[in-house]
Structure 1
Amino acid sequence: MAGDDFAAQAPLMREPESARNSIDNNSFISEGQPTSPSAFIWALSVAAGISGILFGYDTGVISSTLVSIGPADLSHPLSTLDKSLITSSTSLFALIASPLAGILADRCGRKYVVLVSDVLFVVGALWQAWTVNVTGLVMGRSIIGLAVGGASLVVPLYISELSPSAFRGMLVTLSILFITGGQVVAYVLGYVLAQRAHGWRWMVGLGAMPAGFQFGLLLMLPETPRWLVKAGHEDAAREVLMKVYVSDTNTTAERVLQDIKKEIFEEESTSKLIHTHVHGDDIWPWLTQLQHRMTELLYVGGNRRGLVIACFLQGLQQLCGFNSIMYFSATIFSLLGFTSPILTSLWVAVTNFVCTLLALLIIDRVGRRAILLRSIPVMIAGLVLCSVSYHFLGLPGNDVNVLQQIQSAASSPWATFIVVSLLIFVCGYAIGVGNIAWQQSELFPLSVRSLGSGFATATNWGCNFLVGLTFLPLMEYLTPVWTFSLYALVCLVGWFLAWKIYPETKGMGLEDMRGLLRDGWGVKKSSDRPASPRLRVS
């Protein structure tokens, strides 16, 4: 490949020898390994995880909102196109925000991006609550999209950089648990407020409250030690690490600090070489620095492979069709004739929450790869059963709008079986790809972590936008049978790619990941590690 030829011309762009040996020799450190996360880490993770509640609430509440808006509430009754635009606008602007948030997270800090996202959450929520037309609602959802795009990138990154490796998967999954919890809250409030006059305005407006609370809370919390060291604030980084690793007399914190400094030194050496070899003299320093990072991300083999894996997992998370169910579940269940479609949708949210909780408990024991390869077949089974159920629902013919056909067949017991099938799919999703894709930060070294995570998150929202925009038209013109069959096919391809390129990363320190992906996808290398490695603490 062109990237490999480029690296061959500049040998120092390959990973330093220390990074090469860290995996090959299984050089994991056991001294000072905490037996559980400290109270400080729990507090940081919970505070940052409030963004997950906002993320989940704003993706879940739109399902209830779409079936609660009355014909006279906005400028005109909502059409299928209106619903698709309202839903997909959030994803589109999250797509725009994600790479920009990655750049800001490097320049200004991880915490800064979350604070800006909180402000956007408040503005977007109030904008939606006060709008009087469809255009205004789309604009409000777009502002929410900017907030979600920034928060969905930075919160897993923030938690990942602060967590000891033995608990990193669990603590990042905690933020995903908050997302599913926010979806549950959205459906509960949707059910309570749906029958009230203008209740949908309260649904969307209440999203401002957690954002305001988190803004005040985060002002008192620190930056990540890895960003602080990179920004030249070594003493502040040491202070944070001493609060993270409280199991000994600060020797672990000092060791981790030295590892971070060593990695930054090696990355800066590589960056200087790339700068000299590719770009020449600085004209605009900030743009030149971004070019350096882009070159490191795309032309250093290990970084490029990490980007491919992260983008693949984020794309699979959306193209499997899960968020189409979250966005339109109330619409689907309304067409299927359920008396309370919002209450029925609550089962989807609760299943998602419970299975994400299960993933939180097992991810650092079973491992990311093992969970993913076992959960995707469950997703496929649920989607196939759903497709079969729609087939036997007994649609009257092809000369009538398919969504109207579904409604005419609502009394069939197959309608209940569709719900059961969707719950099976959601269970597999929540245990596996729903949370594992957000472990993306661990696939990148510090120098390109924000940028790589930004592109991966943008992939997520790009695919989310595509699914949100096309789901109802696919249901209407391709029929539900083939729509869910298409999602099942995507999952089947995703399973094969996961088996081929996704290595096991449980228990590995962030500074060790470069060696894992240095010479290939690292699948065999990760499987050859000892079953119970002495875990690194960084």
Structure 2
Amino acid sequence: MALTCAPPLLNLKLKNKYSQHHFCVAKKSNSVATTPVRNSLSLDFDSRSFWANDKGFRIRFLRAAPKPNLMKVGASSGEGKSFNSETTQQEVFAWSSVILPFLFPALGGLLFGYDIGATSGATISLQSPELSGTNWFNFSAVQLGLVVSGSLYGALAGSLVVYPLADFLGRRRELIIASLFYLTGALLTAYAPGLGVLLVARFLYGLGIGMAMHGAPLYIAETCPSQIRGTLISLKELFIVMGILLGYFVGNFEINAIGGWRYMYGFSAPIALLMGLGMWSLPPSPRWLLLRAVQGKGSLQEYKEKALLALRKLRGCSGEDKVSERQIEDTLVSLKTAYAGNESEGSFLEVFQGPSLKAFIIGGGLVLFQQITGQPSVLYYAGPILQTAGFSAAADATKLSVVVGVFKLLMTGVAVLKVDDLGRRPLLIGGVAGLAFSLLLLSAYYKFLGGFPFVAVAALLLYVGCYQISFGPISWLMVSEIFPLRTRGKGISLAVLTNFGSNAIVTFAFSPLKELLGAENLFLLFGAIAVLSLVFVVTSVPETKGLSLEEIESKILK
């Protein structure tokens, strides 16, 4: 007979050191008996558990799962082995200990978004004879494209560089280095004496973007309590949107200043400094430390002790903490099991074979269409588009860019709240259909609706809203879900490269194509691509709502 224990999913209770509340399941053959181990007062209430103890008031969010996380207690080995690798024990935590390990990595996403928003106003300031404060304001279409997309080329290079170095650097050091690139790029941009230095600075800032976009989700996922991991990773996407909005606000505030573009780009420097100092104060990821131990990069006992200290610091614990010790042991057992079952993580070519190829077609296709439907161009060039739409004053265009940013933030919140209720496919189909319509509406404005500037504003808002409930959050959610375990790391890396590469190409090509085709035909081209992307979503993208990662791999990919 084996004794199997699991916490209740929902309860409301007062807890002290003399009371515990959990359930044990005694298993023998196929018979199951459920027995409460200790008496305690419990009350089902929503999905939260509150209690007070001698260390103060704490809050625990519990989330019901289709499969309970049962831990088998072996009489001889004393090691716990999880029957379900996708669920973990519910952790006790205080929100005060969660905020900073989420906030400082998330600033990397905010700085990425800020670059998008600030560039919208900076392109107006840079090209103005009165406002640029330079004698090299007369950019060609290619030069303007390089300024705008320079950070994206840097992000692409950063993604390539960090891939083989990620496990060596660790998530914390990777984010510290990213903050240094952010800081150097921002300061160099603000003081750029010429176009060449400006382009180098934009590339350095982009290196920070590439490293931050790789390290931030990993650090947050590996250090936050499991029951709020999805919420925090979704909030990181919201930080990117907040950064875009902040860039619009700063652009609007500085648009009439001489050399205002320097202030727009330079404003990110103190945020980068805060990010770097914050990451320096945080411990390494405990899971990364244990990963290095399992990979044989040092003494197992030494890495275990470092991981335990890191976890206690992250949870705000001091002294002896049996819960943290058990978590470290369980994580170590899980890692050893994973490596025993998958000695090889999968080669690069394996991503293009079998189920992994199907996953890459779905995930890679989504992030590719996310970019080639014009998304980076509409965001980076929001100010110039509004200027040509009838709002000729720079201040008018930047104020409307702020309105676009606020709307983007609100629609992102809608997507975060509804993606698990409505599912992935309905939001994708509805959003991409709206995306295609808004692009065709922009084309129609430039062709024969030029006397109605509100049409351009409405089309931009519709584009942003539809993007934020479809391609924006759901593409990356699908990428994180769809790849098999064996090739997940390689597959996600390839998706990131696809995203940044297509983003940089579209952003760079927007101005030359606009000159070659005209705005009406360019947006018509983007609209046609959006229609193709809608066909792709309808015919190729499955619904993954409510499925575990194993079920996705077994039911969809095979």
TM-score interval for Structure 1 and Structure 2 normalised by the shorter chain = 0.7 to 0.9
Aligned-CA RMSD value: 3.3
For 2:325 and 2:537, the matched residues in 1 are separated by: 35
1:183 Cα deviation from its structure 2 partner: 1.2
For 2:157 and 2:491, the matched residues in 1 are separated by: 15
- Corresponding residue to 2:122 among 42, 65, 71: 65
Runs of 5+ unmatched residues, structure 1: 1-24, 275-291, 394-408, 523-538
Instruction: Spell out, residue by residue over 1:368-403, the C-alpha distance to the aligned partner (whole angstroms, 9 max, x if none).
Output: 44432332222222222222222223xxxxxxxxxx
Letter in 2 for 1:346: V
Contact persistence 2:308–2:324 (CA under 8 A): no
Letter in 2 for 1:66: T
For 1:343 and 1:123, the matched residues in 2 are separated by: 29
1:507 Cα deviation from its structure 2 partner: 6.2
For 1:244 and 1:363, the matched residues in 2 are separated by: 29
For 2:536 and 2:336, the matched residues in 1 are separated by: 32
Does residue 346 in structure 1 map to residue 402 in structure 2? yes
Instruction: Give the match for residue 263 of structure 2.
Output: 202
Contact persistence 2:351–2:490 (CA under 8 A): no
Instruction: Give the match for residue 497 of structure 1.
Output: 536
For 2:88 and 2:215, the matched residues in 1 are separated by: 30
For 1:255 and 1:301, the matched residues in 2 are separated by: 35
Matches of residues 460-499 of structure 1 in structure 2 within 5 Å?
460-499=499-538
Change (3 A) 1:421 1:231: same
1:515 Cα deviation from its structure 2 partner: 5.3
1:169 Cα deviation from its structure 2 partner: 3.7
User: What TM-score, normalized by structure 2, do the two folds share?
Assistant: 0.73
Letter in 2 for 1:488: G
Instruction: Give the match for residue 316 of structure 1.
Output: 369
Instruction: Give the match for residue 417 of structure 2.
Output: 361
For 1:363 and 1:466, the matched residues in 2 are separated by: 30
Contact persistence 1:45–1:159 (CA under 8 A): yes
For 1:487 and 1:314, the matched residues in 2 are separated by: 15
Instruction: Give the match for residue 334 of structure 1.
Output: 387
Contact persistence 1:94–1:147 (CA under 8 A): yes
Count of paired positions: 456
For 1:259 and 1:506, the matched residues in 2 are separated by: 27
Higher mean C-alpha displacement, 345-354 vs 378-387: 378-387
For 1:164 and 1:489, the matched residues in 2 are separated by: 44
Instruction: Spell out, residue by residue over 1:418-471, the C-alpha distance to the aligned partner (whole angstroms, 9 max, x if none).
Output: 110110110011122212233334445677555433321111111111111111
Instruction: Give the match for residue 105 of structure 2.
Output: 48
For 1:267 and 1:31, the matched residues in 2 are separated by: 18
The structure, 1 or 2, with the larger RCO (C-alpha pairs under 8 Å, 6+ apart) is: 1
For 1:301 and 1:490, the matched residues in 2 are separated by: 28
Does residue 419 in structure 1 map to residue 457 in structure 2? yes
Instruction: Spell out, residue by residue over 1:200-258, the C-alpha distance to the aligned partner (whole angstroms, 9 max, x if none).
Output: 11111111111100111112223334323211234554666676799xx9779947963
Larger Rg: 2
Contact persistence 1:170–1:361 (CA under 8 A): no
Contact persistence 1:386–1:418 (CA under 8 A): yes
Change (3 A) 1:269 1:170: closer
1:43 Cα deviation from its structure 2 partner: 3.2
Letter in 2 for 1:357: G
Matches of residues 91-240 of structure 1 in structure 2 within 5 Å?
91-163=152-224, 167-232=228-293, 233-237=303-307
Instruction: Give the match for residue 458 of structure 1.
Output: 497
Instruction: Give the match for residue 6 of structure 1.
Output: none
Contact persistence 2:146–2:508 (CA under 8 A): yes
Instruction: Spell out, residue by residue over 1:463-515, the C-alpha distance to the aligned partner (whole angstroms, 9 max, x if none).
Output: 1111111112222222323322322232333333334444445566xxx6255
Letter in 1 for 2:377: S
1:126 Cα deviation from its structure 2 partner: 0.9
Contact persistence 2:183–2:272 (CA under 8 A): yes
- Three-state SS of the structure 2 residue aligned to 1:294 is coil
Change (3 A) 1:462 1:477: same
Letter in 1 for 2:432: I
For 1:357 and 1:132, the matched residues in 2 are separated by: 40
Matches of residues 10-25 of structure 1 in structure 2 within 5 Å?
none
Letter in 2 for 1:49: A
Instruction: Give the match for residue 330 of structure 2.
Output: 258
Change (3 A) 1:304 1:356: same
For 1:518 and 1:100, the matched residues in 2 are separated by: 33
Instruction: Give the match for residue 277 of structure 1.
Output: none
Instruction: Give the match for residue 87 of structure 1.
Output: 148
Matches of residues 350-389 of structure 1 in structure 2 within 5 Å?
350-389=406-445
Matches of residues 28-43 of structure 1 in structure 2 within 5 Å?
28-29=68-69, 33=90, 38-43=95-100
- Corresponding residue to 1:430 among 443, 468, 473: 468
Could you say which structure has the higher strand fraction? 2
Change (3 A) 1:27 1:299: farther
- Three-state SS of the structure 1 residue aligned to 2:381 is helix
Name the % identity: 28
Contact persistence 2:429–2:538 (CA under 8 A): yes
Instruction: Spell out, residue by residue over 1:254-297, the C-alpha distance to the aligned partner (whole angstroms, 9 max, x if none).
Output: 479636743553335533xx5xxxxxxxxxxxxxxxxx653485
- Three-state SS of the structure 2 residue aligned to 1:73 is coil
Higher mean C-alpha displacement, 50-59 vs 95-104: 95-104
For 1:84 and 1:492, the matched residues in 2 are separated by: 26
Change (3 A) 1:31 1:79: closer
